[in-house]
Amino acid sequence: MTDLKTLQTQLQAYMLQGDPAIKNSIVSTEKVSCEQRLNIYRNGYYWRLLDILASDLPVLKAWIGEQQFDEWGGAYIDRHPSHHYSIRVFGKAFPQFLSSHVPDQPQYAEMALLEWTLAEIQDVNNSAIVTVEEMMQVAPTDWPYVQFSMHPSVQIHHFQFNVPELWQAIIQKIPSPNWKNTPCHNLFVCGVMSMNVMWRD
């Protein structure tokens, strides 16, 4: 009898690479074949990962439509199988993937990056933020030696397109402006303040 660890390894290899070794340990019945049983798990795993991407990138999905999102999401799953114990980080490489998968439509990669950033910063430890009152307590003679650092949640991105404006319109369910290449690239700064996401572009 095959031990549990080997079965787990073989099942993972089948789901990710189609390795048939696990079939020797799966019993077929008159109603359900070995392949059908295995594909129940394989398909369930695939759709679960696609659901994770959709929950992390709902605005992108609403913008491009479910069919297109599922197509790109499926290609991402095939090329970037999950290697981390936490499913939370599965979609981290999706913006970069879109940059290479649809290089002639960079606005979609930018929207994915915007959404991923807004989700990611909420996972950052809510470190203390210096207040105006605290800065007022600093002696004038000490100011030349004061050094500031960004809050751990702060991220800065340059966007070529008006994706922050589009994101807001879709979230608020108001008519969306046409996407456009901005003459001066948007500088997008976001972070968490008192558990609230703050951002400016």
- The pLDDT tens digits of the residues spanning 175-196 come to 877 777 775 556 666 665 544 5
pLDDT of residue 104: 95
User: Does residue 100 lie within any of the structural domains?
Assistant: yes
Domain that holds residue 105: 32-200
Q: What are phi and psi of 28, to 5 degrees?
A: -85, 155
Confidence check: pLDDT of 8 > 90: no
Contact 42, 15 (CB under 8 A): yes
Longest dimension (CA), the chain: 86
Q: Express each pLDDT in 23-34 by its tens digit.
A: 888 888 888 888
CB neighbours of 14 closer than 8 A, spacing ≥ 6?
20, 21, 22, 23, 38, 42
User: Does residue 114 lie within any of the structural domains?
Assistant: yes
Overall number of domains in the chain: 1
User: Does residue 59 lie within any of the structural domains?
Assistant: yes
User: Does residue 21 lie within any of the structural domains?
Assistant: no
Q: Express each pLDDT in 49-86 by its tens digit.
A: 999 999 999 999 999 999 999 999 999 999 998 887 88
**Which alpha helices (H) appear in the chain, and where do they start and end?**
4-17, 34-56, 58-64, 66-79, 94-101, 106-120, 132-136, 163-172
pLDDT of residue 194: 47
User: Does residue 13 lie within any of the structural domains?
Assistant: no
User: Does residue 20 lie within any of the structural domains?
Assistant: no
pLDDT, average across residues 122-142: 83
The CA distances from residue 55 to 74, 88, 161, 179, in Å, are 15, 10, 23, 23
Q: Express each pLDDT in 90-109 by its tens digit.
A: 999 999 999 999 999 999 99
User: Does residue 9 lie within any of the structural domains?
Assistant: no
- Per DSSP, the residues of 10-54 read HHHHHHHH--GGGGGG----SSS-HHHHHHHHHHHHHHHHHHHHH
Confidence check: pLDDT of 120 > 90: no
User: Does residue 74 lie within any of the structural domains?
Assistant: yes
Strand order of the sheet with strand 181-193?
155-161, 181-193, 196-200
The least confident of 20-29, 44-53, 88-97, 137-146 is 20-29
